[in-house]
Amino acid sequence: MASNPPHDSALATESLSERLREAARTAGFDLCGFAPAVTPPTYPRFLDWLDAGHAAGMSYLETRREAYAHPRGVLDGARSVVMLAMNYHNNSKDAGNTAPISNSNSNSTGRVARYAQIERDYHDILRQRLRSLCDWLAAERPGCVARGIVDTAPLLERDFARLAGLGWFGKNTLLINRKLGSWLFLAAIVTDLDLPADRQFAASHCGTCTRCLDACPTDAFPEPYVLDARKCIAYWTIEHRGTIPDDVKPGLGDWLFGCDICQEVCPWNRKAPQASDPAMAARSDLSHLDALELLGLDDGQFKARFRGTPLDRPRLEGLQRNAAVVLGNRGDHSALPALREGLTHPHAAVREACQWAIAQIESRTV
């Protein structure tokens, strides 16, 4: 009896999808789902967000705004998006600590977001794993085209993660998975293969909870599901280059790099499992950093300690600027000699932060 080619083709594609899921697990991803290459559902809201100025100084988002309209902005001929997620919930010593610093606290330590406490920059880890999956696809379907991306390409990853059934949007704008919470690195493979789409995650399980919004010390969420980067601690300590405005500095508290507060208070993260992947283990020397020590590092010392980690992103001058702000917020007089020495720093943003910190500390003199 003659076979039915269309039916056989559908079965073959379904089999490919299931084998791809298994290959993703083997590569180290915790979640894998498939979405059609379509205009992202929240694309109009993304444009409104840009027009409202919520992207702050991230001008690259505005420059590529039209490319986000469809995955073909990433890959011409795109038909499917393979969405992947990796759990990075590590055993940070700072877990659950959301309390603001006290002005009377005399130590000089600052906090680092969990994702930056691992040995290597997650971009490098995920790209390596994406390459192996793209190679696997090429071997399975010779002639297919697939592009793996992490963060840097114009793709609204959260939209496609929801379309692929991986989770829903929390009110803090992060994707939440029922089993893994929100401690997730997202990655994608955009391909010209027509893969069967998974069922969209249509529900939201945040209910009336507003803990993430209420806990933000800088009121960075003007409304649920909207983040204003102009008030976000992570934006100012990681993405922003140059001087930090004076009205922003106090809100940064003791955060040297990033912020986890809205995730730490989320009820869905209470039972989130620890990452089993050794690549996601926290480095003990990165959970807290000494701001005074950072202020005294030279370029060689900085590279020896932080090259290849997420903390390399703001460069030495960015971390030293943040360190000066943390010292000013802590208000410890023992930091004054180092801050005064920082007034001769070659970078204006560091000099300005040191001057501000000195004024903050001296103003508290009884």
pLDDT reported for residue 198? 97
Q: Tell whether 276 and 136 lie within a shared domain.
A: no
Give domain status of residue 202, yes or no: no
pLDDT reported for residue 99? 52
The chain-wide mean pLDDT, for the chain, equals 92
Least confidently predicted of 2-11, 170-179, 185-194, 260-269: 2-11
Strands 168-169 and 146-149: unpaired
Query: What's the whole-number mean pLDDT along residues 210-217?
Result: 98
Query: What's the whole-number mean pLDDT along residues 164-169?
Result: 98
**pLDDT confidence of 11, banded at 50, 70, 90?**
low
Count up the domains in the chain and report the number: 2
Q: Tell whether 258 and 309 lie within a shared domain.
A: yes
Whether 192 sits among the annotated catalytic residues: the reply is: no
Q: Tell whether 168 and 265 lie within a shared domain.
A: no
Give domain status of residue 71, yes or no: yes
Residue 95, pLDDT above cutoff 60: no
Give domain status of residue 276, yes or no: yes
**What global pTM score does this model have?**
0.91
pLDDT reported for residue 103? 42
Give domain status of residue 229, yes or no: yes
Residue-number span of the structural domain to which 126 is assigned:
5-94+118-191
Q: Tell whether 57 and 15 lie within a shared domain.
A: yes
Q: Tell whether 21 and 151 lie within a shared domain.
A: yes
Query: What's the whole-number mean pLDDT along residues 128-136?
Result: 97
Give domain status of residue 196, yes or no: no
Q: Tell whether 10 and 80 lie within a shared domain.
A: yes
Give domain status of residue 181, yes or no: yes
Percent of the residues in the chain that have a pLDDT greater than 90, as a whole number: 86
Residue 101, pLDDT above cutoff 80: no
Residue 93, pLDDT above cutoff 90: no
Residue 158: partners with Cβ closer than 8 Å, 6 or more residues away: 42, 169, 173, 174, 175, 186
Give domain status of residue 289, yes or no: yes
Q: Tell whether 186 and 217 lie within a shared domain.
A: no
Q: Tell whether 167 and 279 lie within a shared domain.
A: no
Annotated catalytic residue within 151, 214, 246, 299: 151
Integer Rg of the chain from CA: 22
Q: Tell whether 226 and 124 lie within a shared domain.
A: no
Q: Tell whether 65 and 150 lie within a shared domain.
A: yes
Q: Tell whether 155 and 247 lie within a shared domain.
A: no
Residue 331: partners with Cβ closer than 8 Å, 6 or more residues away: 103, 104, 360, 361, 364
Query: What's the whole-number mean pLDDT along residues 56-69?
Result: 97
Give domain status of residue 336, yes or no: yes
